[in-house]
Amino acid sequence: MGIGTIGYNYFGGLSIIDSFYNASMILTGMGPVNEMKTDGAKLFSSFFALYSGIAFLGFFAVIFAPIAHRLLHILHLQDT
């Protein structure tokens, strides 16, 4: 959240509130709110969106892996 807020403020020239709003919308998967006008702002926005997607998938994998592992044990699925 902090990286996104600071990045949108610096690169996009948005206020702190608008930067926070934009970062939170990207991190929740809703998409960008404000249009980025400069090339630097567009690059930051693109990389922040990619980062947040990868971070979400990584977080989901860490949470879901033990559940999937337990399910495989319950179903007695194992290598023979």
- Dihedral-angle region of residue 31 (phi above 0 means left; psi in -120 to 50 means alpha; beta otherwise): left
| Confidence at 79, pLDDT banded by 50, 70, 90 | low
pLDDT of residue 56: 86
Q: Give the number of domains in the chain.
A: 1
Question: 19 lies in which domain range?
Answer: 2-53
Asked whether residue 80 is domain-assigned, the answer is no
Summarised one tens digit per residue, pLDDT across range 3-62 is 999 999 999 999 999 999 999 999 888 888 999 999 999 999 999 999 998 988 999 999
By three-state DSSP, how is residue 28 classified? coil
Residue 19 lies in a domain: yes
pTM reported for the whole predicted model: 0.74
Q: How much is the pLDDT for 46?
A: 94
Report how far residue 46's alpha carbon sits from residue 40's, in angstroms, rounded to the nearest whole number.
Answer: 10
In one letter, which amino acid is 6?
I
SS3 3: helix
In a domain, 17, yes or no: yes
31 domain residue, yes or no: yes
Residue bearing tokens 């702002």: 41
